[in-house]
Structure 1
Amino acid sequence: MGISLSHNPGSGVILGSDPMHVAFGVDINYYRGMGVAMASVMKNNPGMTFVFHVFAFSITDDSRRRLAELESQYGTTVNIHTLQTSVLAEFSQFPCFSQHPLGTFVRLLIPNLLQGVTGKVLYMDADILCMGKLDGLSSIEIDEYIAAVVHDQMETTAKTQIARLNLPHHQYFNAGVMYINVDNWIANDTQNKALTILSTQDLIFADQDALNIVLNGRTKYIEEKWNFRYHLVDFLSRGEKNLRVTEPVVFMHFTGPVKPWHDWCLHEAKTIFIGYQAASSWADMPLDQPKSARELKLFSKFLVKQHRVVDGALWHIRYLCARFVRNLKARAR
């Protein structure tokens, strides 16, 4: 399948040899998270050279400006690859592609687009903070594999999906971090196989499930520190607000609907995020306020769990009002 895109190479100068290529696939709501993730990578790895690749279907002038400022601030390179929506046109009639924003499927396209640019690429979701050194990643041997990955939660997600997808090697990974061998990915026709599966099967975790089917037995499983999932809702729903980590973590992956750039995230993760945001070109951007009825409901719940009952009750009233308005609009359609 041919891919149509426009390419805007960054202005940063690559110093030294063998830079690490890091790629993100984002939609319009994740540029801040991605920019702070980039800053966290560079803050924790001052001796390494990086080339960042941003793949997206759209980008605002403000985000483009901030990425250019980040380049200048760190003397790095950020290449912006603007995809055309026609890239997925032949699959758009299938339910899976109408149920998710197009940005969900960008990571399936990245290795093919980087063919001839780099032999290996580190793919990262935009809701990740780097909290350690990356020098050990490049020494991981993946010549005989398509990607190095990390198991998803073995007692919950992985166990369920291994059975549901009937994976013969009884392994299931989280696709938020993948260290990819580009040539092996392409030789396996991974992109088209995954897109075909998405168009023919009913999958719970969309492209992640498709990748697990296609790459089963072709991945190298590495330590959890490279993709440590931290589901903030679970901790906040129990009234916990301190980061609970017992082992060194390189990539902290904030899965779920609550992100550390949400002002209503009443957790230490928000403070850590703010610290890295201050070291990025997004330093002046205020944190996101709760907007949807779901977010308002979660915020009120978190407040009550932290014994802020009056505040929780007030936000619950806002949630009820938002739900009422939402229901009125639904009836008017």
Structure 2
Amino acid sequence: MSQDYFAEEDVILTKLEFDHCTDKNDANSFHISYGIDKNFLFGCGISIASVLLSNPESKFVFHIFTDYFSDNDREKFDALAAQYNSRIVVYLINCEKLKVLPSTKNWTYATYFRFIIADYFSGKIDKILYLDADIVCKGSVQELIDLSFDESEIAAVVAEGDIEWWKKRSITLDTPKLINGYFNAGFLLINLPAWSKYNISTRAIDMLKDPEAVKKITHLDQDVLNILLAGNDRFVDGKFNTQYSINYELKKDKVFDPIPNSCVFIHYIGPTKPWHIWANYPVSEYFNRAKENSPWQSVSLLSPSTSHQFRYSAKHYFKQGLILKCIYSYINYYAKKLF
């Protein structure tokens, strides 16, 4: 790991193992990782359950990097590993150095955990899949398990937007190669030897600490990774990162499931997540199905608690014809805004 930023003995405070796998040979396992804060632990658990539910014949090891993990979380994730005869490893990390890096309302310091993940596993395994915790699996990942990299390919990624968006990003980020594609960093199948060879984590952190570089970026580490990987990334089918915002439902005339059958990973982008109680649409069923087949089965979906959430819940309740709930949410929204 980088001596400047990610010395393992300084970053990894505690390692918790929930191992209920009968086959202890990790050489047969596909490694999947998450980097999250406490707000995404619920989503992370269901994401893992969805992978296991959709891929019963495959063997996985899941790695969760977080700065918070309660006794209740220990109980639930241990039960999840036991339910699916799987292995889950949790790494409690010291993230003080990351807190000095740029952040926004939508992107906290937890977005930088993926750099720690990549550095931690360099030299240990050849590849690891990084997923955002708001991604749910609904198909086979065998294609990713079988994927072989060329030595110059740093990661397999999925394009975001269209050619016009790529042009704008290439100009804004002063990276002409982005005209060939700009990716969403919520899905990264990382070729660890190449990531290490090109020193991606240290170079990314250096850019994020450079005021001149930060002036260009709007999507924090996603922009930085697109700059650094341009020309050395490998674009794979969009089925591996099908992005959908539940807030799109507010603009639709009819309620239907917009996710194609071929989709492997649905990525619930935007502020409304499927674990929110007001996200009551067919598109949330992939999350709900995994939840019903997990230790979180009896855990209630989350109610709004912030002014931002009350505002969105009010809009969704109105869309759903739940007028009393809509009024209640708007009252709470204005109360929180005023007081």
Whether TM-score is above 0.5 comes out as yes
The answer on 1:225 being equivalent to 2:239 is yes
SS class of match (2:90): strand
Q: Secondary structure at the match of 1:162?
A: helix
What is the rounded CA distance, in whole Å, between the counterparts of 1:286 and 1:158 in structure 2? 40
Identify which of 43, 65, 76 aligns with 2:75: 65
User: Against the structure 1 CA distance between its residues 60 and 320, is the aligned structure 2 distance closer, same or farther, given a 3 Å change threshold?
Assistant: same
Distance 1:32 1:157 in 2: 32
1:182 is matched with which residue?
192
Gaps of 5+ in 2: none
Correspondent of 1:123 among 127, 130, 137:
130
Task: Give the deviation of 1:102 after TM superposition.
Answer: 2.3
Q: Which residue matches 1:330?
A: none
Question: Which residue does the alignment assign to 1:81?
Answer: 91
Contact 1:238–1:305 (8 Å) recurs in 2: no
Alignment partner of 2:128: what SS? strand
The question of 1:146 aligning with 2:160 is answered no
Equivalent position amino acid for 2:335 in 1? C
| Counterpart for residue 111 of structure 1 | 118
CA contact (8 A) 1:237 1:301 kept: no
Counterpart residue identity of residue 260, structure 1: P
Residues 221 and 242 (structure 1), Cα distance of their counterparts in 2 relative to 1, 3 Å cut: same
Per the alignment, residue 109 of structure 2 pairs with 102
> 1-side partners of 2:282 and 2:123: how far apart?
42
- Aligned letter for 1:281? P
**Higher mean Cα deviation, 238-247 or 17-26?**
238-247
Deviates more, 1:118-127 or 1:55-64: 55-64
Report the Cα distance in structure 1 between the residues aligned to 2:46 and 2:260, rounded to whole angstroms: 24
Greater CA drift, 214-223 or 311-320:
311-320
Tell me if structure 2 keeps the 8 A contact 1:240–1:267.
no
Number of residue-to-residue matches in the alignment: 321
1:136 alignment partner, SS class? helix
1:329 alignment counterpart: none
TM score, norm. by length of structure 1: 0.90
Taking the aligned partners of 1:284 and 1:309, their CA distance within structure 2 comes to 27
- Pair 1:20-2:30 in alignment: yes
TM-score by length of 2: 0.88
Most deviating of 238-247 and 101-110: 238-247
State how far apart, in whole Å, the 1-side matches of 2:314 and 2:97 are. 41
Unpaired segments of 5 or more residues in structure 1?
A: 326-333
Match of 1:8 in 2: 16
**Cα shift at 1:189:** 0.5
Paired AA for residue 184 in structure 1: A
Aligned residue among 285, 288, 291 for 1:274:
288
Q: Distance in 2 between matches of 1:322 and 1:237?
A: 26
State the percentage of identical aligned residues. Answer: 27
